[in-house]
Every structure is written in C-alpha cells, then in structure tokens.
Structure 1
Amino acid sequence: MKHQEPDFLHNLRAEFADWRLWFDRAIVLAYAAAAGLFIVGFTMLTEAALHRFKHVEAWQPWMVFLWTPAWVVALVWITQRFFPGAAGSGIPQVMAALDPATPQSQRGLFVSLKLSCAKIVLTSGGMLAGLSIGREGPSVQAAAGVMLHARRWLSPRSGIGDHGLLVAGGAAGIAAAFNAPLAGVVFAIEQLTRGMEPSHSGRNSGLIIGAIVLAGLMAVSVFGNFTYFGVIRVPRLDWSLLGPGLLVVLACGLLGGLLARLLVASIAGLPDRYSDYRRRHPFRFAAACGLVVALIGWAADGTTYGGGDEHTRRMLAGDPGLPELYVPLKFLATWVSSWSGVPGGVFAPSLSIGGGLGNDVAQLTGHAEHAPALIAMGMAGFLAAATQAPLTAFIIVMEMVDGHAMVLSLMSVAMLSSLVSRLLSRPLYSAMAELQMLRLGPVSSEPPAQPAPQAEDGSAASATTR
C-alpha cells in the first residue's frame, strides 16, 4: 500500500479553519500570563512584608512579643470570618477542587479569583507577623484561582474544562514561585493529576504545558533568568559520601514524616486539651501560637522568622551563621505557625530545615568540603519527606541550585526519604485534601449560601489545611 505524504497546505488550512478554537487557546495563554504576574506581585509583596517585620524587630526587639500575636489573631479572625477557604497551604484546596466528588457549583469553596486575592494578602500578612511560612504552596491556589476564572470566556466546544484549568494554574504557581518551569510540569503530573480520568489528564496536555511554561516566563521576565539559590560548586562526589548521605536520608525521612504527621493530626484535631482549647477559643489559641513563634525567634536570634530563604542561601555559600539548634527551632516554629490557622505553606521552611540538616551532617561527619552537596541533598530529602512528592522535590532543588551534576544523588535521597516518611505519616496533601472535602457537607443541587457556617466560632478549624 502506497503511503501518502502529509499535505502541508491542507493541514494548515484545516488547523486555522476554526477561529474560535484559537481564540480559546489565546484566552488560556493570556490567563496563564496573568497568573504568572499574580505570583510575581505575590513574591514582591511577601518580601516587602518580611522586610517590614525585620525592620520592626531591629527597631525594638521586644515589640515582636506584641506584634506577632496581634497580627496572628487578626489574620485568623479575617480568615475564619470571611475567607475560610484561604486557610493553610492552598495545595489541598486545589486537590479538593479537582476531586470528582466535588460538584462544579461548589468548587468556589476551594478555588476562586476572590480566594486568590485573599490568599495573597493574608499570606503576606503572615510574613508581616514573622511566622515561619512559605508562599509557594499559596501560589498554587492563587494561580489556580486566576486560571479557573478563564472558563467564563471559553466556548462550550473548546474542550478545555475546569480540571485542565486547575491543573495548569496550580502547576503555573509552582513554576512562577520557584522560577522552575520543569518543576511545575512534574508537580502537575505527580500531585494534581493523580486519580484523574485520562480524559481529564490527557486532553489539551500541550496547551496546559504551554500555560505552565508561560507563567514561569513571566517570573523570568521580571526577576531575570536566575537560579533561586544560586549555583552550587561541589567537588567530585565519591563513595566516602555514602555514610553521610544515608544519615541525611534517615534524618530527613524521620523528621519530615514527623512534621507531616503533626500537621495532619493537629489540624484534624485530637482528643487532647490543646485541640479542645483550639476549638473552643481559636483566637486565644492563635495569640498563644504567635507568642510561641516570637519566643522561638528570640531564642534563635531571629533566624526562624519567615520562610528561611536567606539562611538557606548563606548555608549554600558556606557562611551559615546559624545557631546550633536551628533545625529543631525552625521545625517547631513551622509547626506552630501552621497550627495557628494562618494561611501559609511549608515548602520554603521545609527547604530551610532540610538544608540545616544537611549542613549539620556535613559538620558532624567531618565533610565540610562537601557541605553544599549535603545541604542540597537535605533540601530535597526533607521536602520529599514532608510532602511525599519526591519527583517534585528533587526537580525543584535541582533547578533552584543548578544542581544538574547531582541529579542521581538528589533523586536517590528524595526517593529514599519519602519511603522513610511513609512509615510515619500518610501523604500530607492527600490527607489535608480529605479534610477539605469535609467542608462540602451534604451534596445538593444548589450551592450553599455560606460555606462552613461554623467557621466564625472556630469550630471548623479541623477543616483548614497547611
């Protein structure tokens, strides 16, 4: 049988015959660019907020003991009163919106343009309070809300549904936040499309990837084509690092799994007096959390405030300047910050804790010359253990430190740390998404007038996430 070569002109005319299809694609790409710019603005706002907090701390150190609790109470009150869907990380909300059990009429409980704006402002407020939180998880929800807004302009026959927009938006948030487009694509595959029907995950995949890359390019266009934590210079790796590397795996797996278990248990609520007090007096509990974070920051010479990006960069540059107990103090500050109920993520604090673990192992085992490599391994290992998303973790770290020479090392540490973490805790975001689904209540044909009616008195705190 004779094979006929493709007719270029015929295929070109057929491709451009339906102008509406291309108009729909242009709408999606325009919203992807808008999502990227949203995250750029979010980045600038959080950095300005943390800078303002450090200015207050430097001006009058004792002010932090009043400043932080007051801001935490205000943020928790605003969140519970007006934006209960903005609490916590934001990634579980996107996963809940993607769940087939979530009716289209109720996706606004988890993701919307209104929640995106609230998430940006409230997370920045958490930075202004000096909490140990990150903006990367919130960037996922914020960008997803922007992308979901595009559906009102798309034609019914565009073939682009809510699932595709949510996946593109969530992954675009990671790409723009970390300046790591490849990490955004992998995050979409590993986390957001898990359990989706092939018709949802495969349709318009090229357009979705294009939207993710375009959102990442928005960050590059503003901040430049740079690696987030600079370029690490490591000597040739050999078998002498096997022992320290296994120590990093074990430490990251155990501590990362413990953090995930604590976050899930504390937010879900346990039959203990602290959880009971949180349910009955959410604002007093928030004030206590703010005071504890301030005390930890005072004990750590201010190194536990914020996400920890600055200290991670200094560790990689060989000038840590951190207290000896930085890792446990940062761990506690991150847990308490999340427990308070303020919107904020754990990506950046996890990278900082993991970097601290790698640096400690390097110093304790006498491998100071390999500290940058062990720090990078610790970052990938702890993030993989805390989130149980090993592929996303090692790709993020690889892109953030230009660690292409360490691909196999980072991959191995991330995979093994995630396996150790699974012995202690369920996957963090999946467990948190299940808690989010409790906010749906009985499924009805009409959207609820008020989401989570018990949120004003704090009794819905168990449905918020980190």
Structure 2
Amino acid sequence: MKIHHNTAATFAREFRNWRIWATRAVVMATACAAGLMVAAFTWAGESAIELFMRLFAGQPVAALVWTPCCAGAIVWITRRWFSAAAGSGIPQVMAALDPGATPAVTSRLVSIRLSIAKVALTTWGLLAGLSLGREGPSVQVAAGIMLSARRWLPERTAVSAHGLLVAGGAAGIAAAFNTPLAGIMFAIEELSRTPEQRNSGLLMSAIVLAGLMAVSIYGNATYFGIIRATGIDWSLLLPGLVVAVLSGLAGGVFSRLLQASLLGQGKDGLSRLRAAHPVAFAVLCGLLVAVIGLVSAGATFGSGYGHTRAMVAGREAVPALFFLLKFAATWLTTWSGVPAGIFAPSLAIGAALGNDVAQWFHLPSATALIALGMVGFLAAATQAPLTSFIIVMEMVDGHAMVLSLMACAMIARTIAKVISAPLYAVLAQQQLANAASRV
C-alpha cells in the first residue's frame, strides 16, 4: 500500500499541478525562440560578411572609407543608446549572474531590447568588415530572450532568474556552434555558480532544445567543417607540444592585451584618445583594420570563418603573416568598442598558428596541428578549456585526437593563466560596476 500511495502522490504532483507544466511550457517555448533568434543571427551575419566581401572584391580601396565610418557610427550608437551591448556579451551575462547584481542592474545588462540591438550592431560590424565573431554576442542575445520568460512564469515557480540566465547564455553557445554539449559545458564552466543550477534537468533541456533549433535549420553539420586528421602518431608529439605552448603564450598575451585595452589601463596616447574621444578612436581602429585587410588581400575581414573552414578542409594556404594580422585586426576591433565576439576569430588565429607550425616542421598534412592550434588558442584566450575542447572535438572525424585536444587545451590554459587573469571574469566586474553606477 505504501508503494501505491507514493506512486499516486508522485502522479498527482506531476500531472495535476498546472504550475509545473506551465513552467515547462514557458521555458521550452522561450528556448525555442532563443535558438531561432541565434539561427537568424547566424544567417544575418554570414550574409553581411558575404556582401562586404563582394563589395571588397569590386572596390578594395573603398574599405579604407567604409570600414572606419561604420566603426565610428556603431560605437556612437552603442554608447548613445545601448552601452551594455558593447563588447562580447559574455561578461554582461556573467555580471548579471553575480550575487551582488540587483534586478535593476540585471535589466541594464541583459534584456530583449539589448538582444535586438546586439544582433543589429554585430551584424553591421560584419558588414563593415571588422574582425569579430557572433558567438559571444549570441550568449547575451539568447540570455536576454530566456530572461524575458520571467513575466510569463507562474508565481512560486522553482525557476529563478539566475537559472534562466545560465540556460540562455549556454543556449547561445549551443545554437551558435550547433553543439548542445558545448553549451552545457559552457554553463558549468563559465556561467553556473551554484550546484543546484548545474543539476537542473529542465534548464539543461532548454539548452539542448535551443541548440537543436540551429541543427534543424542548418543541419547536423559543424560550424567550421570536419577535420579529417590523418597520420596521427608519435611523430606529431614534438610539433603538437610546440603548438600547445605557443598557443598558450599567444592566447595569454591576447587576453592580457584585451584587458589592458578595454579597462583603460594604458597610459599611451591611444588609450587617452579612446577615453576622451571614443568615436574618433573607433574610426582610427576601423581604418587600421581596413589597412590590415588590404595587406592580407581580404583574409582578415570578418570572423575568419571562411578561411578557417578552408584551412580545415586543406583547400587553402593562408598568407604567411595571417596569424599576426588576424591577431592585430581582432584586437583593434575589440578595442574600438563595437559589439564584437572573439570566439570565431580566436579559432581562426589558432588554426593559422597550427598551420604555421606544420610548415616549420615540413609536415605533409597540417590538419591535426590546425585542430590543436584552434583548441589551444581558444582555451588560452578564454580560459575555458573544456568548452574549447568540446567545440573543436565536434569537428574531428574520429576519436584519434580526443586526448591530444584535451591535453593541448589544458596545457595552453595553464600557460595563459600565468600570463593573464581570466578575461571574461575581469571584464564582468567592469560591466557590473558600470551598470551599478547608472542605476
């Protein structure tokens, strides 16, 4: 009788309590909306950079006017109406998740209004040819949509604003990369700060569902294609170790450079110009990005998705200085103050580093080292090794490189940790302070 009583009580709790099912329906519906928004963001971003490249092919010198003018306009609009939309978007979500963030602060950092602005301004940045990614911005976009579910949830629901932010931010990564598992790991590694959120089946389901929205539209294909790494043996030990160390050093320097630039720690003339005249500084950064793009024959414009995909497929030999040029273009774009992510550019920079090391060692196939470079630089720049590992692991055809990728991510992150504090955590504190000062 006791077993029958417990079963009946459980059945009643699950199927007679309308609040449970209303909560599930709202969260799942909002997750679908978040996934669809990120999928639309993907289409808009790719269309924007394709249009820019067509214009560049016809009139390359026009980029010297178009790119800086767009950069200045984007920064002016961002600072005037959408100040919390500047930068990646990941620090904003992390700041909103801070225990010290009040509801007023959270609404200044993450909202539907900011999500729409983030999509429009980041897409405009790609149309301008700036070196940026949309994956970080997708985190803020999806988090804003998920947080909006609060108004439709029933009273006394067990789903908190904190949980919605975690699910939304992770859903952004899941949908942006077509990798739901990477979204869950991102939630655990970067966003979640309480054990109960990590074990919430409903919120994890929301992350996966948002990721599946992108899969249903774009197919079960990886964002950068498939890495068919062949000839994996002990001969790659030394080159692989070189890639891990160099990517850790480069990613650590990149992270520290971004922090010094964005936090205004520099005492040089450019930092003073940025503080006093941010729009003029953005125009200058846009001009430098355009010059770098001309030098690289257009290779450094945009997220780097096309060139990375070509490298992964072994169809393209990038310019010899692509690593340094893409590094500089991404730094300048981020420093300018436009809404911009660094995930895709970091993967492009890491792929170029791996390709360069393969050339130094005269290896016939560079695909394995390209994969190691991608995971190493991304792990070092973001100090999120498990998320980086899963994102790149999804691209590898077969499991021969799984342990190598994980080892490379850990080595690179360890080296970067010595050089730089965690990028997103530092920037999140800045976002929190800025938002609190405006309340």
TM-score range, shorter chain: over 0.9
Given that residues 385 and 421 in structure 1 are in contact (C-alpha distance below 8 angstroms), is that contact kept between their aligned partners in structure 2? Answer: yes
- Where do 5+ consecutive residues of structure 1 fail to align? 449-466
Given that residues 243 and 373 in structure 2 are in contact (C-alpha distance below 8 angstroms), is that contact kept between their aligned partners in structure 1? Answer: yes
Quote the RMSD (CA, aligned, Å): 1.6
| In structure 2, C-alpha distance between the alignment counterparts of 1:56 and 1:282, rounded to whole Å | 27
Q: Which residue of 1 aligns with 2:434?
A: 439
Given that residues 188 and 198 in structure 2 are in contact (C-alpha distance below 8 angstroms), is that contact kept between their aligned partners in structure 1? Answer: no
- Once the two structures are superposed, the pairs formed by residues 288-303 of structure 1 within 5 Å of their partners are 288-303=284-299
| In structure 1, C-alpha distance between the alignment counterparts of 2:334 and 2:187, rounded to whole Å | 24
Given that residues 239 and 357 in structure 2 are in contact (C-alpha distance below 8 angstroms), is that contact kept between their aligned partners in structure 1? Answer: yes
Matched, 1:114 2:113: yes
The secondary structure found in structure 2 opposite 1:160 is coil
1:318 deviates by 1.3
Given that residues 180 and 400 in structure 1 are in contact (C-alpha distance below 8 angstroms), is that contact kept between their aligned partners in structure 2? Answer: no
Given that residues 109 and 435 in structure 2 are in contact (C-alpha distance below 8 angstroms), is that contact kept between their aligned partners in structure 1? Answer: no
| In structure 2, C-alpha distance between the alignment counterparts of 1:213 and 1:231, rounded to whole Å | 21
State which of 402, 408, 414 in structure 2 corresponds to 1:407: 402
Letter in 2 for 1:218: M
| In structure 2, C-alpha distance between the alignment counterparts of 1:260 and 1:403, rounded to whole Å | 31
Letter in 2 for 1:409: S
Given that residues 334 and 349 in structure 1 are in contact (C-alpha distance below 8 angstroms), is that contact kept between their aligned partners in structure 2? Answer: yes
Q: Which residue of 2 aligns with 1:365?
A: 361
The secondary structure found in structure 1 opposite 2:230 is coil
- Once the two structures are superposed, the pairs formed by residues 235-314 of structure 1 within 5 Å of their partners are 235-269=230-264, 270-314=266-310
After superposing the two structures, state which structure 1 stretch, 5-14 or 174-183, moved more: 5-14
1:21 deviates by 1.3
Tell me the alpha carbon deviations over residues 425-449 of structure 1, each in whole angstroms, 9 at most, x when there is no partner: 001100110111221346xxxx83x
| In structure 2, C-alpha distance between the alignment counterparts of 1:98 and 1:167, rounded to whole Å | 8
Given that residues 86 and 340 in structure 2 are in contact (C-alpha distance below 8 angstroms), is that contact kept between their aligned partners in structure 1? Answer: yes
Letter in 1 for 2:127: L
Q: Which residue of 2 aligns with 1:35?
A: 34
The secondary structure found in structure 1 opposite 2:419 is coil
1:401 deviates by 3.8
Q: Which residue of 1 aligns with 2:337?
A: 341
| In structure 2, C-alpha distance between the alignment counterparts of 1:334 and 1:153, rounded to whole Å | 40
1:183 deviates by 0.1
Given that residues 105 and 432 in structure 2 are in contact (C-alpha distance below 8 angstroms), is that contact kept between their aligned partners in structure 1? Answer: no
Given that residues 168 and 188 in structure 1 are in contact (C-alpha distance below 8 angstroms), is that contact kept between their aligned partners in structure 2? Answer: yes
The secondary structure found in structure 2 opposite 1:423 is helix
Given that residues 230 and 402 in structure 1 are in contact (C-alpha distance below 8 angstroms), is that contact kept between their aligned partners in structure 2? Answer: no
| Residues 1:403 and 1:251: Cα distance change in structure 2 (over 3 Å) | farther
Q: Which residue of 1 aligns with 2:383?
A: 388
| Residues 1:403 and 1:361: Cα distance change in structure 2 (over 3 Å) | farther
The secondary structure found in structure 2 opposite 1:368 is coil
- Once the two structures are superposed, the pairs formed by residues 56-71 of structure 1 within 5 Å of their partners are 56-71=55-70
1:7 deviates by 5.9
The TM-score normalised by the length of structure 2 is 0.97
1:234 deviates by 2.1
Letter in 2 for 1:230: G
The secondary structure found in structure 2 opposite 1:93 is helix
Tell me the alpha carbon deviations over residues 365-397 of structure 1, each in whole angstroms, 9 at most, x when there is no partner: 12222x111101110000000000000000011
| In structure 1, C-alpha distance between the alignment counterparts of 2:25 and 2:91, rounded to whole Å | 29
Q: Which residue of 1 aligns with 2:171?
A: 172
Q: Which residue of 1 aligns with 2:72?
A: 73
The secondary structure found in structure 2 opposite 1:219 is helix
Given that residues 256 and 385 in structure 1 are in contact (C-alpha distance below 8 angstroms), is that contact kept between their aligned partners in structure 2? Answer: yes
1:8 deviates by 4.8
Matched, 1:144 2:139: no
Q: Which residue of 2 aligns with 1:234?
A: 229
1:9 deviates by 5.4
Given that residues 105 and 436 in structure 2 are in contact (C-alpha distance below 8 angstroms), is that contact kept between their aligned partners in structure 1? Answer: no
| In structure 2, C-alpha distance between the alignment counterparts of 1:245 and 1:321, rounded to whole Å | 20
- Where do 5+ consecutive residues of structure 2 fail to align? none
Q: Which residue of 1 aligns with 2:312?
A: 316
Given that residues 131 and 305 in structure 1 are in contact (C-alpha distance below 8 angstroms), is that contact kept between their aligned partners in structure 2? Answer: yes
| In structure 1, C-alpha distance between the alignment counterparts of 2:128 and 2:176, rounded to whole Å | 21
| In structure 1, C-alpha distance between the alignment counterparts of 2:167 and 2:224, rounded to whole Å | 25
Tell me the alpha carbon deviations over residues 242-274 of structure 1, each in whole angstroms, 9 at most, x when there is no partner: 100111011100110011001000011122211
Given that residues 71 and 129 in structure 1 are in contact (C-alpha distance below 8 angstroms), is that contact kept between their aligned partners in structure 2? Answer: yes
The secondary structure found in structure 2 opposite 1:405 is coil
Q: Which residue of 2 aligns with 1:131?
A: 130
1:202 deviates by 4.6
Tell me the alpha carbon deviations over residues 150-190 of structure 1, each in whole angstroms, 9 at most, x when there is no partner: 00111221111100000000000000000000000000000
| In structure 2, C-alpha distance between the alignment counterparts of 1:6 and 1:185, rounded to whole Å | 36
| In structure 2, C-alpha distance between the alignment counterparts of 1:72 and 1:52, rounded to whole Å | 17
Q: Which residue of 2 aligns with 1:51?
A: 50
| Residues 1:176 and 1:6: Cα distance change in structure 2 (over 3 Å) | farther
The secondary structure found in structure 2 opposite 1:366 is coil
Q: Which residue of 2 aligns with 1:454?
A: none
| In structure 2, C-alpha distance between the alignment counterparts of 1:88 and 1:387, rounded to whole Å | 14
1:227 deviates by 2.0
1:4 deviates by 4.9
Q: Which residue of 2 aligns with 1:422?
A: 417
1:79 deviates by 0.2
The TM-score normalised by the length of structure 1 is 0.91
Aligned length: 438
Given that residues 135 and 344 in structure 1 are in contact (C-alpha distance below 8 angstroms), is that contact kept between their aligned partners in structure 2? Answer: yes
| Residues 1:6 and 1:271: Cα distance change in structure 2 (over 3 Å) | farther
Q: Which residue of 2 aligns with 1:156?
A: 155
- Once the two structures are superposed, the pairs formed by residues 141-220 of structure 1 within 5 Å of their partners are 141-193=140-192, 196-199=193-196, 201-202=197-198, 205-220=200-215
Q: Could you tell me the percent identity over the aligned residues?
A: 56
Given that residues 75 and 279 in structure 2 are in contact (C-alpha distance below 8 angstroms), is that contact kept between their aligned partners in structure 1? Answer: yes
1:53 deviates by 0.8
Given that residues 231 and 403 in structure 1 are in contact (C-alpha distance below 8 angstroms), is that contact kept between their aligned partners in structure 2? Answer: no
| Residues 1:360 and 1:6: Cα distance change in structure 2 (over 3 Å) | farther
Tell me the alpha carbon deviations over residues 126-151 of structure 1, each in whole angstroms, 9 at most, x when there is no partner: 00110110000000000000000000
1:280 deviates by 1.0
| In structure 2, C-alpha distance between the alignment counterparts of 1:401 and 1:124, rounded to whole Å | 29
